[in-house]
A and B are shown apart, each in its own frame.
Chain A
Amino acid sequence: MITEERLTIPASATKRFFYMIAIGLVLLVAGLIIAANFSGGHGEAHGAEAGHHAAGWGQRLLANLWMNNVYFSGIAVVGILFVAIQYVAYAGWSVLIKRVPEALGSYLLVGGVIMLLVFLVPIIFTGHNTLLHWTDHSLHEVGSPNYDPIIAGKSGYLNITFYTIRMVAYFTLWFLFFKWLRRESLAEDLNGGLDHYNKSIRLGATFLVVFGVTSSMSAWDWVLSIDTHWFSTMFGWYVFASWWVSGLAATTLTIIILKQMGYMKMVTSNHLHDLGKFLFGFSIFWTYIWFSQFMLYWYANIPEEVIYFQERLGGNNNHYTWIFFFNLFINFAFPFLVLMTRDAKRQMIMLKIVCIAILIGHWFDFYMMIMPGTMGGESGFGLIEIGTALTFLGIFLLRFTKELSKASLVPVNHPFLEESIHHHV
């Protein structure tokens, strides 16, 4: 008989997460003070020289909050997607690990609130949000000196009201499906039987449809609309691929850490092997999407299209060039070469290194997507960036570990539990 396995989060770990948040906030505030005092003279001089206004510390704070929240919310929603896919595919192997991605979704509530605040607070106080250029009303008014016919033409979709409604809708839908799938899963632990399983399959299938639409649309809204003039039909896929790989890496890393702490004894190298194949395959998938997007724009070389890559490669005084190549190295070359052999996918140490690399790499991927459009050539990598990232990581881990400890790590009454225990590749 399979018994429950409860995860107890030691108080020291929770304390560590709070320290993480505290240190992050201290670094963030210190960074902001330095930036505010430093960029006063610098911004003016640079602004006069380059003929455009320099991005200040406020903009930098907003951009960081936005970027980290998009990244962590993506990881959270990918957890639900993973569980949904496993149900729809009638997968057996993943039963022993499903409680980990299942718990990832708990961040969504926090993510939704932060996202709404970061979007709405600047609008309430200043009338528009400098992160998203199109929120400026004067761009849509014919006759205004700022009138921009291209942005005005998009105002049917990109207007503040509809945008807010969409944002609330994505988070509500994602969070509801997280709650529903979680509820069925926990009820199954108590009651057993096939009813909860069959209901989870129906929920999972519905979520796939919902996520298919909302993942693309949220990518347009939150990331693509920063570069309002530019568009890419691959963008939804691109953001999804980045989220998906990060989510898989987060899941795998958690499982490895839990195993090293002595939990999840029944998870063998066979399960890790499958997760490793996922990481390997979808790192290549991400690269495929990246290249498909890049090559078409590079080849056609139409000014209004290629500007996006000009800003990132060579433009902005080569500000982003190293990240551009670092992004390709750490998200493609590194996992591709390291995870190629069977042994690497079955050993925890190799997988762990790759997972950490991928998580850092895709953080930089979102940095590449968001910073050039919001900060121009002024983005930095200093106390503000590290502080914000640490704060978000701390909040994410608090929510995640709390949710993880709420239920048994082994879904004791899952109909495919036996199959998962005997999984062998």
Chain B
Amino acid sequence: MTSKKYILGVFNDEDVLLNAIEKTRAAGTKIYDVFSPYPIHGIDDVLGIQRSRLPIVAFFCGLCGTSFALWMQIYMLGFDWPMIIGGKPHIALPSFIPVTFELTVLFAAFGMVITFFIISGLRPTLKVPVMDVRSTDDKYVMAIELKEGTDISKLNDLLRSNGAIEVNEKEVVK
């Protein structure tokens, strides 16, 4: 059992929080995470979170879907078990388009969801520590990991001077 200590700055207001995040990062303090009752517009930029590369995954998954669908239909209807349907050639591309489209979308969607689960480590046994239950109601919580040698009182001052209404300490057992 490892445990980690966090300093939690509790905020009352979204704009104060965004400002505090900027000031805290500018002071050289690394923010572990921020918890809020709803998604805050523009918080990714302030926190310095880079844009997701998930669209690239989607593109290549989609490409796999397209190739798979075309291969499957051409192989099945053209080589494995050729059938005449509606008097068309065995390999009649226009009639393959709907299935190709559907499989492209399916592969892209599933590929994105699965990749997202793996990358973010979302699994049934995952336990997410709730830093402060009020962050599910009407407060915004900024968590800073407490490492050895961190000056707690300095952090306290930094957070309070930037509008935190409370500064708490929390130990999370993993």
Q: Which residues of A contact B (CB under 8 A)?
A: 291, 294-295, 298-299, 301, 340-342, 424
CB distance from B108 to the nearest CB of A (A): 12
- Which residues of B from 29 to 58 have beta carbons under 8 Å from A? 41-42, 51, 55
Residues of A within 8 A of B98 (CB): 295
Q: Residue of A at shortest CB range from B87?
A: A301
Question: Do B55 and A342 touch (CB < 8 A)?
Answer: yes
Number of contact residues on B: which range applies? 10 to 19
Nearest 3 A-B pairs (CB), nearest first?
Answer: A298-B94, A295-B94, A299-B86
Chief secondary structure at chain A's binding surface: helix
Q: Is B94 a contact partner of A424 (Cβ separation < 8 A)?
A: no
Known: A299-B86, A301-B86, A424-B41. A291 touches B97 (CB 8 A): yes
Compute the total of residue contacts between A and B using a CB distance below 8 Å.
20
**Which residue from chain B places its CB closest to the CB of A298 in the assembled complex?**
B94
> Complex Cα distance A291/B42, Å?
40
In the complex, chain B residues whose CB is within 8 Å of the CB of A341:
55
A294 to B86 Cα, complex, angstroms: 16
Q: Mark B94-124, 1 if CB is under 8 A from A, else 0.
A: 1101100000000000000000000000000
A291–B100 CA distance with the chains assembled, in angstroms? 13
The verdict on A340 contacting B59 (CB below 8 Å), with A301-B86, A301-B87, A424-B41 known, is yes
The smallest beta-carbon distance between B124 and chain A, in angstroms, is: 33
| Chain B residues near A295 (CB-CB < 8 A) | 94-95, 97-98
Given A295-B98, A299-B86, A301-B86, output 13 extra A-B contacts at Cβ < 8 Å: A291-B94, A294-B94, A295-B97, A299-B88, A299-B94, A299-B95, A301-B87, A340-B59, A341-B55, A342-B51, A342-B55, A424-B41, A424-B42
Among residues of A, the one whose C-beta sits closest to the C-beta of B42 is A424
B95 proximity list for chain A (CB < 8 A): 295, 299
Closest Cβ of chain A to B3, distance in Å, is: 39
A-B contact pairs, 20 of them (CB 8 A): A291-B94, A291-B97, A294-B94, A295-B94, A295-B95, A295-B97, A295-B98, A298-B94, A299-B86, A299-B88, A299-B94, A299-B95, A301-B86, A301-B87, A340-B59, A341-B55, A342-B51, A342-B55, A424-B41, A424-B42
